Amino acid sequence: MVQVSIIIPGYNEEKDIGKCISSLQMQSFFDFEMIIVDDGSIDKTVEIVKSFQKKDKRIKLIKGNHKGPGFSRNLGANKSKGKILVFIDSDMTFDKDYLKNLIVSMQKDKNLIGTTHDYEIANNLDNLWSRCWGKNRIDLRNKELGGIFRAIRKDKFLELGGFDSKYGYADDQTFWLKYKVLPYIAKNTTCYHKNPETLGEVYKQSRWIGASINLKITNLPIIKYFIPFIAVIASPVAIPILLIKKCYKNKNFKLFFPWMFIFMSVRYFGTIAGIFRKIYFNKNMR
């Protein structure tokens, strides 16, 4: 029996899935199966995965309908054989010791439920909009809080009920949001993750994030219907504030105008659109 099952949900990932698979094949730890769950792709994602399957028997493909990454991750977990589940995205690549360092503490301490990586950096900073999004996606090297489980024991995953799709973009934080259960931060686990590269991608990602925001005020019958409109009215003030904050966080004021202004406007209104879709149509999908 394999020790680890790597589960990768994918929806129209023909540009990135091959790089992700290749990166995993070059890991120093190799006792794993790789389960790619296709989330109803209409591009060449499936064909690319099948081409890798011919040369690597560790790779498994599950074809599904477009129900979101949380559903796909749960489907992959139920079909897995490993005692430890590792959840990654199809546009990620990794340092060669990533897997080994991610699970070593779980191998030593049987009471440890799971881990998360300590550093996640954008791997496409040659792109203008990626630079606007920011270099450091996650940096837990000097922090103690990280709600995303990248590795978790399968028995505990099933016991906790898997990922809850209602959280949308944040469904991989289910165990923190539902049960306040946190993973251990594994050291020396650098991951590279792709940022949105077009304004269309920025808008869609922001819309998905907006639909996943937990605004308790939206539960109030009357007030919730005014939130999107209030946000639109507040945009002339909110966008410049968010713009300055983003430049300061990125430590890059060279992009301040016009690029960051355009970027933040798209992010802002994409987020509002997501909130709007969630309130009025109960939609929370990428």
User: Comparing 99-113, 161-175, 183-197, 246-260, which segment has the lowest mean pLDDT?
Assistant: 246-260
The answer to whether the beta carbons of residues 217 and 281 sit under 8 Å apart is no
What percentage of the chain has pLDDT greater than the value 90?
A: 73
What's the CATH code, domain 4-193? 3.90.550.10
According to the model, what pLDDT value does residue 146 have?
Answer: 79
> Does residue 180 carry a pLDDT above 60?
yes
What's the whole-model pTM score? 0.91
Q: At 252, is the pLDDT very low, low, confident or very high (cuts 50, 70, 90)? A: confident
Mean pLDDT computed over 131-136: 92
Question: To the nearest whole number, what is the mean pLDDT of the chain?
Answer: 91
Q: At 251, is the pLDDT very low, low, confident or very high (cuts 50, 70, 90)? A: confident
Is there a cis peptide before residue 258, judged by omega within 30 degrees of 0? yes
> In whole angstroms, what is the distance from residue 130 CA to residue 237 CA?
24
Cα of 223 vs its chain's centroid, Å = 31
> Does residue 227 carry a pLDDT above 80?
no
Domain boundaries, the chain: 4-193, 199-281
Mean pLDDT computed over 74-97: 97
What percentage of the chain has pLDDT greater than the value 70?
A: 95
User: Comparing 23-27, 41-45, 278-282, which segment has the lowest mean pLDDT?
Assistant: 278-282
Mean pLDDT computed over 225-251: 86
> In whole angstroms, what is the distance from residue 203 CA to residue 196 CA?
9
According to the model, what pLDDT value does residue 256 have?
Answer: 75
User: Comparing 168-172, 179-183, 254-258, which segment has the lowest mean pLDDT?
Assistant: 254-258
User: Comparing 204-208, 245-249, 251-255, 275-279, which segment has the lowest mean pLDDT?
Assistant: 251-255
Q: At 143, is the pLDDT very low, low, confident or very high (cuts 50, 70, 90)? A: low
Pairing mode of beta strands 4-10, 92-94: unpaired
Query: Measuring CA to CA, how many Å separate 172 from each of 69, 71, 153, 157, 251?
Result: 9, 11, 15, 12, 28
The answer to whether the beta carbons of residues 186 and 152 sit under 8 Å apart is no
Judged on CB neighbours under 10 Å (0-12, 13-18, 19+), 201 is: middle
